[in-house]
Amino acid sequence: MQNKLTTLTRIVAATGGLLLVLAIVLPVWRIELSAPQYPEGLVLQIYSHKLGGDVEVVNGLNHYIGMRTLHEKDFVEFQVLPYIIGALAFFGLLSALINRKWFYYVWVGFFVLFAITAMMDFYRWEYNYGHNLDPAAPIQVPGQSYQPPLIGYKQLLNFGAYSIPDTGGWVLFGVGLVVVISAVIEIRRSRLSARSISMRMATTAIAGLVALAGCSSGPQPIHFGTDACDFCKMTIMDKRFGGELVTTKGKVYKFDDIGCIKAHIKSNNPEATVYLVDFAGDGQLVKSSDALLLESEQIRGPMGGRIAAFANADSFRVSLQQLNGKQTSWNDNAR
């Protein structure tokens, strides 16, 4: 019995193996590009076996700045990745069937090694494409490279590049995280009594479910004097104005004025949650649905806005009298 997996770990192995099959056919990674001339943005999707999205448009842009164009035949990864992920899926199912700890640990070890190697290879790919430029390119900026971020956001000339896992990537990440946690629990289980094991595993499982249920994208602190408005491109300076849009995919757009937020929404119509800077809160953000909005001719936002947001009712009432304004709402102003 000491060498066998718990029922929960066997379920994790079998479920993880089945879910990994999805990562073969779903996009694993995506790079989103935004610029004034592309208000709807461009998307490059990376599958285990092909490229998707706006590949031809991106290739056209790459030509002008000297980057190599993207062709599936140039990537040996597309020839081997489906088989590697398929093998991981198969051995996950086999781990549940064989029901031996050592086999499960070997599988988890290969999974972790694959994840590390894949990220290193992806970084190498991004570095080569961003630095090995054609010296005869029509547009040349001395000292400029165009390496996209490994993960997160990076400004490349007038383009904003946002690199995040896509659906298949989140599947890989989720399965990897759960199987590693299960392996740790199995190792600790060998040192604990049967009763203690049950309690600890139940606690860990509940905590994991709560953490997964509570994982949601939220606003990020605005770095005043450093961050730029994603609409007007001006540096965000005034801690009394501005806000953020957080899309359903977790992408964050920052703005220096409510007017810029409204203009961005009108131009792009994103599925996003709006957060506004608290006029009296030293740069703190409050959800637009919870904010108290004050409209007054005495308010002067960075881009000419006449609206200020408040998180606190007392601060709102004081400013309402001082600024001779009127109360409004986000729904009235977002139209």
Q: Are strands 272-277 and 29-35 parallel, antiparallel or unpaired?
A: unpaired
> What spatial distance separates the first Cα and last Cα of the chain, rounded to whole Å?
65
Q: Give the whole-angstrom CA distance, residue 81 versus residue 24.
A: 8
pLDDT tens, position by position, 288-312: 989 999 999 999 999 888 999 999 9
pLDDT value at 218 more than 80:
no
Convert 299-310 into a string of H (helix), E (strand) and C (coil).
CCCCCCCCEEEE
Q: How many CA atoms lie within 13 A of 308 on its CB side?
A: 31
Helices 167-189, 77-98: axis angle to 10 degrees equals 30
pLDDT, residue 165, reads 92
For the chain, domain boundaries: 7-214, 243-334
In this predicted structure, the answer to whether residue 92 has a pLDDT above a threshold of 70 is yes
Cα–Cα dist 240/225, whole Å: 13
Which whole number is the average pLDDT over 108-132? 88
Q: Quote the pLDDT of residue 1.
A: 54
Least confident of 47-51, 99-103, 136-140, 284-288: 136-140
Write down the residue that tokens 């790459």 correspond to: 62
199 Cβ contact list (under 8 Å, min separation 6): none
How do residues 2-46 score in pLDDT, each as one tens digit? 688 889 999 999 999 999 999 999 999 998 888 877 777 888 899
- Vertex 173, ends 44 and 41: CA angle to 5°? 20
Residue 127 pLDDT grade (very low, low, confident, very high; cuts 50, 70, 90): confident
Distance between alpha carbon 205 and the CA centroid of its chain, in Å?
25
